[in-house]
Amino acid sequence: MPDETPAADGGVPAPPPAVALGVFGHSVGFLVSQVGAATARHFKDALAELELEPRHFAVMRAIEAAHRQTQQLLAENLQIPASSMVALLDHLEARGLVARHLDPTDRRIRLVELTAAGHARLETAVRIAMGTESLICRGFDAEEREWLIARLQRVASNLGLAAGVHPGDGGSTGACGPAPTERPRRPPRA
Amino acid sequence: MPDETPAADGGVPAPPPAVALGVFGHSVGFLVSQVGAATARHFKDALAELELEPRHFAVMRAIEAAHRQTQQLLAENLQIPASSMVALLDHLEARGLVARHLDPTDRRIRLVELTAAGHARLETAVRIAMGTESLICRGFDAEEREWLIARLQRVASNLGLAAGVHPGDGGSTGACGPAPTERPRRPPRA
DNA sequence: TATTGTTATACTCTATAACTATA
DNA sequence: TATAGTTATAGAGTATAACAATA
């Protein structure tokens, strides 16, 4: 694969009609990243008509899967910081899609659940997700689609990804680093 | 696919060990988005040791493909705003990887080209990209990999993507919208 | 006046730490 | 003192508009 650049034809300037990045357009890494970003954006745009973002969708699905969860557990499972979870749930609660109930045994805890409207909205969102799925899979038969899913699952496994957890964009400057001694981040207020 | 939620087993709380999002872990859309984001981050982290980001890599590849391009043409081809291109080229120029030359016939124009160091660095970066490729493709034979690439190219085509152009994350609030009457964006300075 | 490249700024997003209330 | 949730703020990233130089 190292030789394929058309620059070896002498020294002709030869301005290409478009960018000659075809070589990397022929790699799994580039394609999966390009297609993944475009798919995410398509879904985001389609979901916007429900006043939801993909993370709201993920939160609602997680609540549906296990009713009356703690906010903290929810945040932990989805790998979202607790303070972001507050904002996400505020958004959903303001639209009447989820409800926060005080735990009678421990009044620090809020148990979260979907309302009837939340269930209905989630059903519509699932239909939108299926619409995105059928758009991007246009031209595939069922067997091909299953094959593709299996290969993508293997790639996910090669990357050490947890099933069903979408890491989003991750931290900008290597969010995984434990920062042994540096990263002053934010000085404590005086 | 609609019925598979384990919530129909009565009313048992049944706290799941992990999040029960397995249903969407079995869709091309979710997987390609999840895997694409993780692949992009892996590549970004690997590239960081060269003091480069993926967009620098894309810019260098585009310059290599067509030497002595206008900054504007470069920005247009890669679908990056011109002001961002300035910052990217500043970064590369400060490290001696690219050089900006004044066009003798039109002194408004800067023609950009890779230095010798830039070529060398790009070669290393390509090797890093191939490392990411072989990591994510672990366990695939050549035929499977080609098959996967072909399917991903079809998905890209279904999404209307231009070959070789990575749209990144796109605009936060629907960057594709022409904004007929609204979006005050930024009021002109007084 | 139009165009190329540059600088400046405003906006969005999000993670961190302080804070409140409960235990 | 420790924990659940909340609020506030700092920082990064980036797109838009103004600007300077040249045509």
Chain B residues in contact with A163 (beta carbon < 8 A): 18, 21-22, 25
| Overall average pLDDT of the A79-95 stretch | 97
Residue A169 has pLDDT above 90, yes or no: no
Does A190 or B86 have the greater pLDDT score?
B86
Any idea what DSSP says for residue B112? E
Instruction: Check residue B174 and give its pLDDT.
Output: 26
Overall average pLDDT of the A140-167 stretch: 92
**Does the distance separating the beta carbons of B137 and A155 come in below 8 Å?**
yes
Of A21, A43, A57, A112, which to mutate for an interface test with B (greatest number of B Cβ within 10 Å)?
Answer: A21
Residue A112: which H helix or E strand, with range?
strand A106-114
Which nucleotide is at minimal CA–C1' distance from A179?
Answer: C16
Spell out the residues 6+ positions from residue B93 whose beta carbon is closer than 8 angstroms to its own.
Answer: B99, B100
Mean pLDDT, chain A, whole residue set: 80
**Residue A39 is which amino acid?**
T
Instruction: Out of B133, B147, B159, name the one closest to residue A42 (CB).
Output: B159
DSSP β-ladder status, B106-114 and B98-103 = antiparallel
Asked whether the CA dihedral B165, A47, B38, B132 is positive or negative, the reply is: negative
Asked whether the beta carbons of residue B29 and residue A158 sit closer than 8 angstroms, the reply is no
Rounded Cα distance, A134 and A137, in Å: 5
Interchain contact A30–B (C-beta under 8 A): yes
pLDDT in tens, A100-130: 999 999 999 999 999 999 999 999 999 999 9
pLDDT per residue of chain B (190 residues) written in tens, 0 to 9: 333 333 333 222 322 322 334 467 789 999 999 999 999 999 999 999 999 999 999 999 999 999 999 999 999 999 999 999 999 999 999 999 999 999 999 999 999 999 999 999 999 999 999 999 999 999 999 999 999 999 999 999 999 987 777 777 643 222 222 222 233 333 433 3
Mean pLDDT of A181-185: 33
Percentage above 70 pLDDT, chain A: 76
Please return the burial class of B101, using the count of CB atoms within 10 Å of its CB with bins 0-12, 13-18 and 19+.
exposed
Contact A163, A156 (CB under 8 A): yes
Cβ(B139)–Cβ(A156) below 8 Å: no
* pLDDT (tens digit per residue) in A58-68: 999 999 999 99
- Closest CA relative to residue B140, chosen from A35, A175, A29, A111: A29
Interatomic CA–C1' length for residue B71 and nucleotide D22, angstroms: 16
- For residue B189, the distance in angstroms to the closest alpha carbon of chain A comes to 31
Distance CA A82, CA A74 (A): 9
Q: Are the C-beta atoms of B188 and B101 separated by less than 8 Å?
A: no
Q: Measured between alpha carbons, how far is B113 from B97 in angstroms, rounded to an integer?
A: 9
- Which amino acid, B108? R
The predicted pLDDT at position B162 comes to 79
**Tokens for B136?**
């994510």
Helix axis angle, B54-65 relative to B71-78, nearest 10°? 120
Q: Which nucleotides of D are covered by protein (CB under 7 A)?
A: 3-19, 21-23
- The CA distance from B104 to A137, in Å, is 51
* Tokens linked to A67: 């009713």
Are B59 and A60 a contacting pair, CB within 8 Å?
no
| 143-182 of B, contacting A, C-beta below 8 A | 144-145, 147-149, 151-156, 158-159, 161-170, 174, 176
